[in-house]
Amino acid sequence: MSSTLISPAQALELVGEGLRTLPFPHAPEGLYDPARYILQLGGKRIRPSLTLLAANIFDADPARFLQPALAMEVFHNFTLVHDDIMDEAPLRRGADTVHIKWDLPTAILSGDLLLIEAYKLLGQAPAHTLPAVLQMFNRTAVEVCEGQQLDMDFEKQTDVTLAEYIEMVRLKTSVLLGCSLATGALCAGASEADTDALYIFGEQLGIAFQIMDDVLDAFPEGDTFGKKAGGDIERGKKTFLYAKAMESMKAEDRDKLLSHYGKPGAGHVDFVLDFFISNGIKNAATQAMEAHFQRSLQALGTVNGPTQVLHQLAQAVYERTF
């Protein structure tokens, strides 16, 4: 079967073409123009690619499942439009966010439309798989909302445990990766065990990726295109590093950290960076990241089928070359 495996680049090509030809009507413009706009801003489109590659393990023609794959990307873009309102973000992928380019009502309503369009695409999964596909997607969609709520809740509290942080990350970003893979598996008729394993592969890869994101924000590697180190620290964001420090340090050291965390100015950021290194927080984060990545590959290893493309993709994601 491995001769029929498509590459990540081929999956991406299918996804790009699918997104370009989504049959959105012209009018009302105020509803459909913002939806087209956000979908054409780009992004890595890893979620629909994962759906196609997961389906391809069990089916030689994953393009048959392009619509449910696109549902993952359209849903992801729904969350971006609404999250950007909630986070008051002016930019997305280097361009104006929808509520800035248009206005608040437009961003709310076109976000709602994207969520519904995701369900329309999902509804084109093979009819006999629809109850399971829909159930998986519904659970995931609720979890993503819960993750966003927890993220907003954390902004207002200083005491975030590591377990709470991991759970927030899992809900806000990782479950959709798991769902994207599981949807491909379900559409292509995979067994329950293989479907579950692919879900865990995505979920754990997502958690690893998010911890890496936190570490790289504080400690960038290589060419960072002028991005300032420690943006999260300056903004007082509750990251893995923060939660780990709050959980493992003594009260005295915690207070010291808090007196510098979330304060503007290089002096405060430098203090926090030194603190994270000298107290082993950075190391602990790197180890946790590696552990989740290994758990991810372990789950993938149990899948009955040719998983080499997903294995390579996971490596590329982990090495930030995808």
Of residues 71, 141, 218, 245, which one binds a copy of itself by CB under 8 A?
141
- State in angstroms the smallest separation of the CB of 115 from a copy of itself: 6
- State in angstroms the smallest separation of the CB of 297 from a copy of itself: 31
Q: Does 22 bind a copy of itself (CB under 8 A)?
A: no
Binding segment (CB under 8 A) for a copy of itself, from list 136-144, 186-194, 200-208, 271-279: 136-144
Write the DSSP symbol of residue 172.
I
CB closer to a copy of itself, 34 vs 305: 34
For residues 112 and 109, give the distance between their C-alpha atoms in angstroms, rounded to a whole number: 5
Strand (E) positions, the chain?
91-92, 95-96
Positions 29 through 48 that interact with a copy of itself (CB under 8 A): 30-31
Contact predicate 288/185, CB 8 Å: no
Binding segment (CB under 8 A) for a copy of itself, from list 4-12, 26-34, 60-68, 275-283: 26-34
CB closer to a copy of itself, 147 vs 230: 147
- From the list 316, 239, 264, 285, the residue with the least C-alpha distance to 12 is 316
Work out whether strand 95-96 and strand 91-92 pair parallel, antiparallel, or are unpaired.
antiparallel
Cβ neighbours around 20 below 10 Å, total: 10
Q: Does 90 bind a copy of itself (CB under 8 A)?
A: no
Q: Does 161 bind a copy of itself (CB under 8 A)?
A: no
Contact predicate 233/261, CB 8 Å: yes
CB closer to a copy of itself, 131 vs 264: 131
CB closer to a copy of itself, 237 vs 254: 237
Q: Does 169 bind a copy of itself (CB under 8 A)?
A: no
Cβ neighbours around 192 below 10 Å, total: 10
CB closer to a copy of itself, 135 vs 259: 135
CA dist 243 → 65, 171, 265 (Å):
40, 17, 22
**What is the separation of C-alpha 228 from the centre of its chain, rounded to a whole number of angstroms?**
23
The dihedral formed by the CA atoms of 242, 219, 86 and 33, expressed in degrees to the nearest 10 = -160
Q: Does 130 bind a copy of itself (CB under 8 A)?
A: yes
Task: Tell me the number of residues near a copy of itself by CB under 8 A.
Answer: 34
Cβ neighbours around 2 below 10 Å, total: 10
Q: Which residue is associated with the tokens 């590591």?
A: 162
- State in angstroms the smallest separation of the CB of 294 from a copy of itself: 30
CB closer to a copy of itself, 113 vs 212: 113
Buried b (16+ CB within 10 A) or exposed e, 193-214: ebbbbbbbbbbbbbbbbbbbbb
Q: Does 153 bind a copy of itself (CB under 8 A)?
A: yes
Of residues 23, 26, 94, 127, which one binds a copy of itself by CB under 8 A?
127
In the complex, the residues that contact a copy of itself under the rule CB under 8 A are 28, 30-31, 82, 85-86, 104-105, 108-109, 111-113, 115-117, 119-120, 123, 127, 130-131, 134-135, 138, 141-142, 145-146, 148-150, 152-153
